[in-house]
Amino acid sequence: MSQSVLIKECEQKLAYNFDDTTLLLQALTHSSGADTPADSNERLEFLGDSVLGYVICELLFKKFPERDEGDLTKIKSAVVSRETCLKIAQSLDLQDFIRIGRGVGRNSSIPPSILANAVEAIIAALYLDGGIKIARRFILHHFAPEVMKMADSISCDNHKSMLQDMTQREYGVHPDYVILDEKGPDHGKCFKIAVRVKGRYFPAAWGNTKKSAEQHAAENAISSFQDEPIPYDCGD
């Protein structure tokens, strides 16, 4: 496709029109397809990595005031990763826009590392063209869902591990997680889960995934053990 068409279609995918389209073109140019090293996206990738890290750290700091540094670092490391960038590159169909040299790959066969790095380069291009507000909007739109998934996963592991330590110490058994109910369509089910320890059921909790429901149920059980108000009340 022509350069002007490539830019226009990519802008539509990014939901942003560049004032300086040369920035977008550079962000899409792998070193193998660049006339000179300065024309490739490597420098933009360097900057984009830092902008992405800053925005994600800011989001974590504001969104999870109760989490300690260890949890925040785990979430950030999982989200600001090649795997997440690759997932976002694929969702944006960046393989249709990346400019590479002959022999490197074509379309869907473009190496995953090139696609992932292009996302960071695009973030830098958005930052340079529109400022941190535009870069933040793009990052939050595409990365925030991954942040929430990872936050749920890490929290789930922590609370479940804590509860297992408690029940093992007090009763010599591991807790069971029992699905009591579920609702919603197949692509968006919610689950109601309760912790069971030696036949005793603790207050159940809902979650939009089994992992998150187990997390909430574990928190309820821990609160019950400690004679504190449960954080997730089903209203039963």
Q: What is the pLDDT of residues 196-221, one digit of tens each?
A: 999 999 999 998 888 889 988 998 99
Task: Tell me the CATH number at 21.
Answer: 1.10.1520.10
Of 173, 210, 171, 172, residue with least CA distance to 190: 210
CATH number at residue 193: 3.30.160.20
The tally of CA atoms less than 13 A away on the side-chain side of residue 140 is 11
Q: Is 27 in the same domain as 125? A: yes
Note whether residue 184 is domain-resident.
yes
Range of the domain at 21: 3-150
Q: How many folded domains does the chain comprise?
A: 2
Residues identified as active-site: 49, 120
Write down the pLDDT at residue 157.
63
Whether 104 and 188 share a structural domain: no
- Same-domain pairing of 103 and 217: no
Least confident range of 80-84, 85-89, 209-213: 209-213
Identify the band that residue 57 occupies on the pLDDT scale cut at 50, 70 and 90. very high
146 within domain boundaries: yes
* Residues 6 or more apart whose Cβ sits within 8 Å of residue 173: 167, 197, 198
One domain for residues 187 and 123: no
Residues 126 and 196 grouped into a single domain: no
* Listed residues 100, 133, 150: the one ending a domain: 150
